[in-house]
Amino acid sequence: MASITTFLQSIKFPVMPEVAHALISTLKDDNAGVPEVRNLIAKDPALTATLLRMANSALFGLSRQVHTLDAAIAVVGMGQIRARALSICMAHSFDMPTSLNRLDFWRSSMVCAGYARWLAMAIHIDENEAWLTGMMLRLGELVIAQHNPGMIASIERRPCPPGERWERERQVAKFDEAAIMAEIAHRWDFTETVVEGFAAASQPMEARLFSKLGAVVHLAALLADQSPFTPDVLQLLPADVVQRLQLDIVALQPSLPVPETFADISMMPT
C-alpha cells in the first residue's frame, strides 16, 4: 500500500515562509504575547498591509479605522490576527491549478473556517485553532493537483454532495486532503492538536483518536459545501458526530450564520 510519505515525494513540497514558521512556534508557547506576535508579522510588510486591510474591511465591522498592527490586534484579537496571518502565508505557499476556480476554492475555504470557529465557540475549544484548521483543510486538494492535475476533474465532477469530495480524493489519489494536511502540518511543526484535527477531519468517527477539532472541521466543511444553503441545514449534519460533540442543534439554530458572513476572500492570493 502506498504511503503518504511516498505520495508527497512526488511533489515540490511547499516552502514554509520564515514568518509562518515563527508564528507556528508561538502556538506552542504559552508565554508568547502581543509584542512577539506583532514583531514577527511586522517583518513582512506585505503581510502587515494585508492584515490591516482585512481589519478595516466590512468583515469585522469596526467602528473606527485601524492603522497599526497594535491597534488591529487590540480590536480583532491576537489569536484571530495570528490565525489569519498564518492562513495568508500558507495560501501563498501552494500553487492554484487552472482546473480549479480560484474564487470558489477560497470562498469554500473561508466559509469552512468561519463555521469551524462558530462551532468551536459552541463547544468551548480554541476558536482560532479551529478557524485556521478549517481554512487550511482544502489546501490538501492543491497538493493532489500538483501530484496529478488530471485527478481534479474527477474530484470536482458535478454534482458533488457534501462529503463526496473526500471519497473521490481517496479513490483517485489514495489519500484525501485531510490526511495530506495532517502530514504537512506535522512536518511544519504545528501543534499536535492541529495535526490530529486534520487527520480526523474527513472521517472523525473512524480516527485513531477522537478529535473534537477534527469533528468540528468535518461539520464545518459539510456546511460550507451545502448548496443550496437552507435554514434546516443543521438537521442534515451526521447525527453520530453531532452527538459525540454534544452539540445542541436546537439551541444553535437561531444563531446559524449564512455563508456570506464568512465569504470575504479579498485577502487571498489571486
Sketch the domain layout of the chain as residue ranges: 13-93, 98-270
Q: Mind spelling out the 3-state secondary structure of 138-174?
A: CHHHHHHHHHCCCHHHHHCCCCCCCCHHHHHHHHHHC
Domain spanning 98-270, CATH class: mainly alpha
Q: So what's the pLDDT on residue 90?
A: 87
Q: Is the pLDDT of residue 1 over 60?
A: no
Of 98, 89, 118, nearest to 224 by C-alpha is 118
pTM: 0.92
Average pLDDT score over residue span 153-180:
97
* Dihedral (CA of 105, 107, 112, 113) sign: positive
pLDDT tens string 39-77: 999 999 999 999 998 888 877 777 788 999 999 998 889
pLDDT of residue 256: 97
Q: What is the mean pLDDT of residues 24-32?
A: 86
Q: Which three cell numbers stand for residue 192?
A: 499536535
Percent of the chain with pLDDT over 70: 99
Q: Which of 101-110, 130-139, 261-270 has the lowest mean pLDDT?
A: 261-270
